[in-house]
Structure 1
Amino acid sequence: MTIKTRSTIKAERFLSLKLPKAKPSCLALVCLPFFSSFTWAGTKIELEAGMEYDSNVGIEEADITSGVGDSASDLSLGISYDHKIDHVNLSASYQLQDTRWQEYAEFNSQLHIGVLRAGYQMGVQGVDFSLAQAYGQVDGKDFLRLTRASPAYSRLIGNRWYVRTQADFSRKDFSQYDSRNSDSFAGNLYLYRFLDRTRFYLSGQMQLKSERAANEIYSYSGALAKIQIKRDFRIFDKKLSSRLHARIETRDYEGWRSDIRAARQDLRYRVAFENELAFNRHWQLQAKLQQEWFDSNLPVADYRQWRASLGLVWEF
């Protein structure tokens, strides 16, 4: 296994952290109408400038399983439009994300994400369909293109519980690594328990996923579980939103690898703490601290890391 392979794994990981996630946009489009007179309509523009630190970015030449930390500057632009017609919600969004590392410029990345969504609300029930397209570059070169289609069904149970099922059909194409091109299916179950409307709630996610790649050593079946607690506070008349979440993911790969004389197996853990401090309607400060453990019988995919980020957001 070469250093280049390790670099490919890490480049894909950097992009995957920013790709559109298989998660619901229910709290604004479905739940809030039951809790307030909130209406989701119009155009929104969002600009963010920030910095981040990753403890495991570079690779020591003497030991490809070791890592070297680095810091980066982050810039992002988001534009979205939402429109509601009776029971129908329509939305479209575009986001540009640009990350520049100080020392390891070979991991500089730029990501373009476009999402279209249509939803229909039937009282406490709702159905929706979203289509996401993402295009990523690493070190100025085409790296990854992702297409995802996601139909979903949701239901609000009383005023305390919300459940949602979502299917994700995805296609990934790597510009320089055809053997990693893949099609995948993921089934998701989300459960929310509202303790104080959307100001304080618990949530959980279960996912089963199957990904089939051009080369079977990259094909896998996996499962994911995630729990989260979210709470809003008032600090000097400012709103502070805090989230603490943890997740565990398993992946069992299909292809037998000659370098480890076995099929690859991964076990991944993540714990994160996020805070958003809103100064007013337009300005917001975001901070995040995250610890990850990647346990794998493939040496180049077995490592630990922690990440910290701080960003200033302007919304209009």
Structure 2
Amino acid sequence: MSTVLRRVFANPQVTPGLLIALLAVGTYAWFAWGKALVADLRNDWQIDRAMHWTPEPWALTADEFPGHDAVELTVDRAFVSRWHKPDWALEASMVPGLDLLFYTTGPVGTEGDWRDDGTFSYDRRTTDAVAGTRVDGVDVLTYVSAPEGPSYATPQGAALPWALRDTALDAPVRLLDTEYPVYADPFADETLLSVAYVGHRPSEQERFEDRAEAFDAGGPGYFGLVAHHRDAAGVERTTTTVAAVVEGALVVVGVVVPDGAEPSPDLEPALLLERLSAEVRADPPSYPEPERGELLVAQADSRTTREVGSVIAAGS
């Protein structure tokens, strides 16, 4: 210790104040560091907890592909976010195979906004079921989103499926032309070779009129996209993502097939969508009763969706 410091600490008038100041600084630093450490640990714990598939109550999992080489896919850290949620959660819109459909709309789950008083208000909650399985080398992703408000089959809740269908119709332009803004490019690290819309193609007049109507499964049936892309290693794949509204819930299937693979007929995206839709019909979600004076239009008989899916799956 230097002579100056010895004199400082030897001075009875200085030492108590100095010790108190050092103790205060040390205590503040300890609590600040400790608080940051606790926050980091909690954050890591939430991310780890969120990095799991959430297949209940509707999903196609490895157990549902008997006779095939089926294993559960690994959940990547990139699939998890805190999009307008207090905690981290798995986001279907960030899962390869499903993300193709959500390239402009982003996450479908709980959303909200900050009020003027600084509190957070949720304007939509959903029950989400997400699962991923590799079946004979083909990735099969499934997603069901059932809102806790008006169903997606009503005029009040139909904005999301109409938006998804409209952006799917525009995808060949938006995804291949870099001048168009997208929420998240599903092929940001890959080369997009081609993209095409699949499903009923409405006229411009139909698209205009649909926006004020309930999403009627008997009309549009299912819709989606098929894209051919190549990764940095030169491996090419074809991703098909199709969706429908079934019992008021959004039902989505994504199938990713590496070039050269020959998937079995029962891995046809339309047939997988029908299988997932059947699970939703067998255990349909419940929706709140409409408020007084509010007219909720019921969804059309979902058997029509089955018929549409069967026709398209057969190549008609």
TM-score (norm 1): 0.28
Larger radius of gyration: 2
**By percentage of residues, which structure has more helix?**
2
TM-score (norm 2): 0.28
